Chain A
Amino acid sequence: MAFVQNFPFFSIVLSMFAGTVSSVLPQKPAKYLNTAVICIVGTMSAVLLGFTLQTGESFTYMMGHFPAPWGNEIRAGVLEAAMALFFCIIMLLSLLGGRKKLLGEVEITKHNLYYILINLLLSSLLALIYTNDLFTAYVFVEINTISACGLIMIRENGRTIEAAVRYMIMSLLGSGLLLIGICMLYDLTGHLLMSNIREAVAQIVAEGTYSMPLLVTIALISVGLAIKSALFPFHSWLPDAYGYSTVSSAAILSSLVSKGYVFLLIKIFYRVIGFSIIRESKIIDVLFLFGLAGIIFGSLSAIKENDIRRMIAFSSVAQIGYIYMGIGLGTDVGMIASVFHIIAHAATKSLLFVAAIGLTDVSGGSRKFIDLTGAAYRNKVAGVAFTVGSLSMVGVPVFAGFISKFLFANAAVYNSGKMLPALVVLSISTILNAIYFMKTVIRIYTPAKTDYPCITWKQEKLYAVTMVLFMILNIILGMGSQPIVDLIQQGLSTFA
């Protein structure tokens, strides 16, 4: 066994250990430890990605050398390594962009707590990506929920605590459904390791017994994870949670936490149940419909919103809808589009949140559109970055969002039954996206006479560098998409 194959395990344990150590560290060392851990985990994932690309297949890693039915397993392939690397990049950039704001919004004595939560969140995300065991996945889903809740409420005011409570309630409903789904699946198959369950499920389907319990199980797991990832109509907690938490939290929550659950769902579809059985079960049609409804509803709510942070949050509802629409198409092409959109949306949404905070800071802290007039002149870097993010969300070529829209449209053509609704909704939503994002861009570039201070990039070097890195990442995703799409395709083919 190559040494590189230990890396998934190392990255999970390293970030969890860093979280534990941070509890006794003062603010600064905790911050540096957190940054170092994210960088190390990112580097390890990059090496792992190189390794899996070379071997071209995924490998399983036995925890504690107990063989298959008894031990716990980690499984890593091209897609998992790429996701881990990408999540690390986004997390690092979101934290860098929100660092100055964090000082103002969270008490200094609580900063090490913040980094504990970030480390735990990273470790649980990595575990969701790598694990090959369903119950382990459930436990890490709960760790993910608890740390995400902490990230929302660490900025203490009434709004965030209320948002955290609403978030917890919705999440707990989702994890309850997921848990009973996993227990029923264990009951049906007698296994908890994903590959073993798959064999048992194939046997059950071949014999034609227990078709109803299997359908119920698939439905419970899908609905549970859909609730957790804020698919319409389970999104009621989302605007408050993203809108009022501190900016790094909002960026991480919208771009990583919900994506972790979607990734787990894709993994369950491919590796646990088998995609052909999922396709026959009609569950994906339900996901497809709710995805479409989410796209329209999220965009309409975003248009009505008068608060820039909540507008971006509602746009997240629409983007989650896109991802479920891609899953719902029920083809491998649709799945590739969904996975690419997970990446593209994560890159763009975190960019938008961090850019929006730069704009509101030069408008006296107000998030109302009327006060944001001309904000792009007062903070030029944030203005340009917000424009890049908006163009990407609308789907203008060169930027990441265009590629995912293109992939979705392409995937829709391959599915004759769902082609028409998917294409119609795609075009409607592009228009709606353009309405609210371009409205904001025009607003921030309308000159206005105000006495708010101007901020140049020299005053906030870290912020400016982060914004530039975000924009470069977005343009890389938009221009050099073919290698990434090939990589996702290769990853999905070895995923099952």
Chain B
Amino acid sequence: MGANLFANYGEAVAVILFGIGFSNLLLQKNLIKKIIGLNIMDTAVYLFLAEKGYIEGRMAPIVVDGIQSVDAYINPIPSGLVLTGIVVSVSVTALMLSLTIRLYRRYHTLDLDEISTQLKKEGR
């Protein structure tokens, strides 16, 4: 168990980071901190994928001087997944930030609970 954990320390770090990001997104009151948590969480997943996709001593499957044997290259699919994931994460972050700006302009605070109490006061 301990030896496995040490051999796969990259994945272990990724999962710990995922936990940090997840709990920040869930528990922080401040919207910007929540968004930072979201980004840590997503990046942890990319670290996990990159760590899984990399094989020591091999290179990216880009043909430079003739195709070499299969053993020379890493599996490109995890890298492709990371790219797709980054696109999704960027668009979601942009959407969250724009919503945060909207709320800040209206209520002059970034605290979600504070906004809820103000909404209750408005009584609508």
Contacts and interface: CB of A to CB of B under 8 A. Distances in A.
A135 B95 contact: no
Contact of A183 (B48, B88, B92): B48
A138 B25 CA distance: 19
A187 B52 CA distance: 7
Contacts of B52: 183, 187
A75 to B, nearest CB: 20
A183 B18 contact: no
A145 B49 CA distance: 23
B87 to A, nearest CB: 9
A282 to B, nearest CB: 22
A306 to B, nearest CB: 13
B81 A173 contact: no
A192 B78 CA distance: 11
Instruction: Give the secondary structure class of A's interface.
Output: helix
A177 B23 CA distance: 12
Interface of B: 15, 18, 21-22, 25-26, 31, 34, 38, 41-42, 44-45, 48-49, 52, 77-78, 81, 84-85, 88, 91-92, 95-96, 99-100, 102-103, 106-107, 112, 115-116, 118-119, 122, 124
Contact of B22 (A142, A145, A157, A176): A176
B88 A165 contact: no
B86 to A, nearest CB: 12
Interface string A143-186: 00110010001000111011011101100110011011001001
Contacts of A142: 88, 91-92
20 contacts: A149-B95, A157-B124, A158-B107, A158-B124, A165-B31, A165-B96, A165-B99, A168-B99, A169-B25, A169-B26, A172-B38, A172-B92, A172-B96, A176-B25, A176-B42, A180-B45, A183-B45, A183-B52, A186-B78, A186-B81
A180 B103 contact: no
Nearest to B115: A162
B53 to A, nearest CB: 10
Contact of B18 (A145, A146, A176): A176
Interface of A: 135, 138-139, 142, 145-146, 149, 153, 157-159, 161-162, 164-166, 168-169, 172-173, 176-177, 179-180, 183, 186-187, 192
Contacts of A180: 15, 18, 44-45, 48
Given A161-B99, A168-B96, A192-B77, A173 B25 contact: yes
B102 A161 contact: yes
A159 B119 contact: yes
B83 to A, nearest CB: 11
List the 3 shortest-distance A-B pairs measured between CB atoms, nearest first: A142-B88, A176-B41, A165-B99
Contact of A165 (B21, B26, B103): B103
Nearest to A180: B45
Given A169-B25, A187-B52, A158 B122 contact: yes
Contacts of B22: 173, 176-177
Contacts of B45: 176, 179-180, 183
Contacts of A183: 45, 48-49, 52, 81
Nearest to A179: B45
A162 B88 CA distance: 22
Contacts of B18: 176, 180
Q: Which of A158, A159, A164 has the most CB of B within 10 A?
A: A158
A149 B54 CA distance: 36
B33 to A, nearest CB: 12
Given A165-B31, A176-B22, A176-B42, 5 more contacts: A146-B92, A158-B119, A162-B115, A173-B26, A186-B81
Nearest to A70: B77
* A149, A166, A187, most chain B CB atoms within 10 A: A187
Contacts of A149: 95, 99
A149 B93 CA distance: 13
A142 B44 CA distance: 18
B91 A162 contact: no
Nearest to B99: A165
Nearest to A184: B48
Contacts of B112: 162, 165-166
Contacts of B21: 176
A179 B85 contact: yes
